[in-house]
A and B are shown apart, each in its own frame.
Chain A
């Protein structure tokens, strides 16, 4: 039968078209992804391995890493609690104003991070009413770690909850209702039924949120005040080094972020593969 050969030519494009498309895609990837990453590593190691190691073990760098880790961890925990509560409420109950909350959840994605940071400065800075009140009790939020955590949490708020809502909506309430009719209480239903059903989606959301929290620049930059060794996160520290023409140090620290991004990407792929 000659049908096979005919089908093949119907189902695929001519060789020239296929080659052009493939070459275009690969070129694009090299120029926009491959080269920049290569440059980061090249610049970082330009002055040798020793210089690289001193750059990333420098006291200010270490303190920026510490601050980033703490900020990311706290905002992950806050977002986790918030996302579970919000997704649970939105998907398992009917109430007035649900759509309003859903719209509100997207706000941090649509607002520029710089504005997000400014909002907190205006709200809690020393010139605001709330800021003056906090000052009386000597509580510092803006230009201190709490402000950075607040801004990071705000910016990363939608990531987990947006992962959970469609998933939980699709799963519906039936399993929960079944558990209820079998005599389970709220906590039992949550831990034995709901959580196992959403665990992969939750992990996925956590990883996305984590990646975003580590790399957040705009909002954090506004509320941090750039106090060296105190309120600098990794991205802010890189900027300072770069502005001081200390390129190899800036790129050395940047490799840390790049590695973190790659690990995140790997975990994300692993989980989405498991999840699907």
Chain B
């Protein structure tokens, strides 16, 4: 067991950031902490690093209790959302910092430091930038320097706080792929925090979905997407339509027995036809068509209740259907879950 989090609670002045978190991370795993802002994911990460002190509970790294250990003694690599590079130092000096500040007894020799720095600088493919200052680099490059800097001290675990949060979409996608490769190569136990569900599903081995200071579900990306444990996870991961018992017009498609339940339907589980064959098909108006990539997203408005419904169909289906905005169509729910 690489990281063990035992019953961590943390309270800030006016709210409870974490309420009894338990989690175990295997050696070499890449785990995503996923949740909306304010759910406590960053606080949890900072507690693991020792930058924040929990009110109760314990952190174990490689079966050793970290409760009395300072940040310095924990030997974790931490990557910040806004890079936190040292502005007045070159890329080389930034990366060498962690080695240079070691106590004299265990500090590597100067040439050893240089070797180590060039090896991690190679790893992040920034050899050309060694003598530059952070302000001369792009956001993506800065974050790679930050990563190299944390890897230079050979940490036992790597913690990344929204590492791609400040980058634009294209760079973010590249870096995601690159992080996965890097992790594969180094096999260092890593936890990263994100509010972007796509990022979590794409990069992580396991996803921890958090909400309001609690863990809602832990599972592989496939599990949390296909088998959400509860309404929150269903809602948070992937697009979803929600129907409560008030939306009586869909009752005939999937009966809601208890009135407090909410029916969740993924957009691709909604079927659109031009003619309603029977009472299972509900009439609606097409209000928007968004054709992009592998599927077509269609926004429908139920005629009676004016409720909007998101549907997604394949390009092929769309071509066969021949619809445009303003058309009256019928839809039906093929698959759904009630919580």
A residues with CB within 8 A of B: 174-175, 177-185, 188, 192-193, 196-197
Contacts and interface: CB of A to CB of B under 8 A. Distances in A.
B163 to A, nearest CB: 13
A193 to B, nearest CB: 6
12 contacts: A174-B80, A178-B78, A181-B51, A181-B71, A181-B76, A182-B101, A182-B150, A183-B75, A183-B101, A184-B72, A192-B97, A193-B86
Interface in B83-101: 84-88, 97-98, 101
Contacts of B76: 181
Most buried by B among A179, A183, A196: A183
A178 B94 CA distance: 10
What are the 9 closest A-B residue pairs judged by CB atoms, nearest first? A182-B98, A174-B84, A178-B84, A181-B78, A184-B101, A196-B88, A180-B71, A188-B101, A183-B72
Nearest to A181: B78
A175 B76 CA distance: 16
Contact of B80 (A177, A184, A188, A196): A177
A182 B153 contact: yes
A207 B64 CA distance: 52
Interface of B: 49, 51, 71-72, 75-78, 80, 82, 84-88, 97-98, 101-102, 146, 149-150, 153
Contacts of A193: 86
Contacts of B88: 196-197
Contacts of A181: 49, 51, 71, 76-78, 150
Contacts of B80: 174, 177-178
A180 to B, nearest CB: 5
A178 B84 CA distance: 6
Given A174-B80, A177-B71, 9 more contacts: A175-B85, A177-B51, A177-B80, A179-B86, A182-B150, A184-B98, A193-B86, A197-B87, A197-B88
B78 A179 contact: no
B288 to A, nearest CB: 40
A91 to B, nearest CB: 15
B72 A177 contact: no
A258 B277 CA distance: 97
A188 B88 CA distance: 15
A240 to B, nearest CB: 48
Contact of B86 (A175, A180, A185): A175
Contacts of A174: 80, 82, 84
A172 B200 CA distance: 28
B43 to A, nearest CB: 14
Nearest to A176: B84
Nearest to B87: A197
Nearest to A183: B72
B84 A177 contact: yes
Nearest to B46: A177
